Amino acid sequence: MRYAENILGTIGNTPLVKLNKLTSDLPCLVLAKYETFNPGNSVKDRMALQMIEDAEAAGLLKPGGTIVEATSGNTGMGLALAATIKGYRLICVISDKQSVEKIDILKAMGSEVHVCPTNVEPSDPRSYYATAKRLAKETPNAWYVNQYDNPSNTKAHYLSTGPEIWEQTDGKITHFVVGVGTGGTISGVGKFLKEKNPDIKVWGVDTYGSVFKKYHETGVFDENEIYPYITEGIGEDILPENVDFDIIDGFVKVTDKDAAIYTRRLAREEAMFLGNSAGAAIKGLLQLKEHFTKDDVVVVLFHDHGSRYVGKMFNDDWMREKGFLD
């Protein structure tokens, strides 16, 4: 008989799926690393489990303890899976720009959820970064995950996602494209792939209102680049330690409107019901068309599931309200 001992045993080994209609104008083969097959429906399950296991091994997370994290939703879901199986309490701090579905899902999984304003500085005590740190200090026997600077985030993708992509493409991958938020996925996968073949190009997808692209190109952290944006899961107003800019060959920016529209197009043209960052990722890949040749194998990673965005990108009224739909 084949079965997992618990739900955590089903994390990883997600499939590669060929894109057809949206990439028909490209000369290359485009494959999606389809991370919604993880039990929490996102790529974040990988690093959530890795961070918890490493914290246990280091004695930072003790039996019966409380896990505290600032999350845009998906890391919280991955942490919730592990917390339930391992017997920990979980406190998630989330910003008010995230979908209602994400908040409801975290609550459904038994997490305590605190919602904070988006449009404040990271150093503001009301920000979700500052609130998570405060709650971790105030809560007895608590461990603050800090996915942005926790090296176990990158480690998870170096140990699992990168090797899977290499093996699934028989080492023929030439480009890796992925949205960048905490930086763990692009840095871990990129490090592994470049160790196998230094010629592989690693591209990050960024959003307008985020600092990544300009910082990568100029080394300047420009606060004038920062403003509120709608796209979820990618971009930052800080520089997480997990973003290894030396591994990244370049960034491409995608507008909120294009990210939303291409999220819907993935569902209707490729039957891929995915989250907002997937729309940004595929649009970013299409904007990189000039970099691809007929012999290239391009892998784009799709982070999470469309069920998190039913009230947003998949809602016509919401799309019209934002000016994304005529």
The catalytic residue among 44, 201, 213, 253 is: 44
What is the model's pLDDT at position 121? 84
- The string of DSSP codes covering 279-326 is HHHHHHHHHTGGG--TT-EEEEEE-BBGGGGTTTTT-HHHHHHTT---
d(CA 79, CA 83): 6
Closest CA to 253 of 291, 287, 223, 226: 287
The tens place of each residue's pLDDT in the chain, 326 residues long, gives 999 999 999 999 999 999 999 999 999 999 999 999 999 999 999 999 999 999 999 999 999 999 999 998 899 999 999 999 999 999 999 989 888 898 999 999 999 999 999 888 878 999 988 999 999 999 999 999 999 999 999 999 999 999 999 999 999 999 999 999 999 999 999 999 999 999 999 999 999 999 999 999 999 999 999 999 999 999 999 999 999 999 999 999 999 999 999 999 999 999 999 999 999 999 999 999 999 999 999 999 999 999 999 999 999 999 999 999 98
Q: Which two structure tokens, joined as six digits, stand for 219?
A: 């080394």
Please name the residues in contact with 273: beta carbons below 8 A apart, sequence gap of 6 or more. Answer: 266, 267, 305, 306, 307
Please give the sequence-ordered ranges of beta strands (E in DSSP) within the chain, or none if there are none. 16-18, 29-34, 66-70, 89-95, 112-116, 142-144, 175-179, 201-207, 250-254, 297-302
d(CA 150, CA 188): 12
Task: Kindly report whether the global pTM for this prediction surpasses the value 0.85.
Answer: yes
What is the model's pLDDT at position 122? 79
Active site residue 44: yes
d(CA 248, CA 185): 11
What is the model's pLDDT at position 97? 84
Closest CA to 110 of 85, 87, 82, 80: 80
Please name the residues in contact with 159: beta carbons below 8 A apart, sequence gap of 6 or more. Answer: 50, 188
Bridge partners for 178 per DSSP: 204
Instruction: Give the residue extent of every domain in the chain.
Output: 7-40+159-321, 44-144
- The string of DSSP codes covering 83-103 is HHHHT-EEEEEEETTS-HHHH
Closest CA to 256 of 209, 219, 216, 301: 209
What is the model's pLDDT at position 132? 94
CATH number of 7-40+159-321: 3.40.50.1100
What is the model's pLDDT at position 256? 98
d(CA 191, CA 188): 5
Please name the residues in contact with 78: beta carbons below 8 A apart, sequence gap of 6 or more. Answer: 38, 40, 42, 44, 45, 46, 47, 48, 49
Q: Are 7-40+159-321 and 44-144 equal in CATH topology?
A: yes
d(CA 201, CA 273): 27
CATH number of 44-144: 3.40.50.1100
Helix or strand or coil: residue 169? Answer: coil
What is the model's pLDDT at position 10? 98
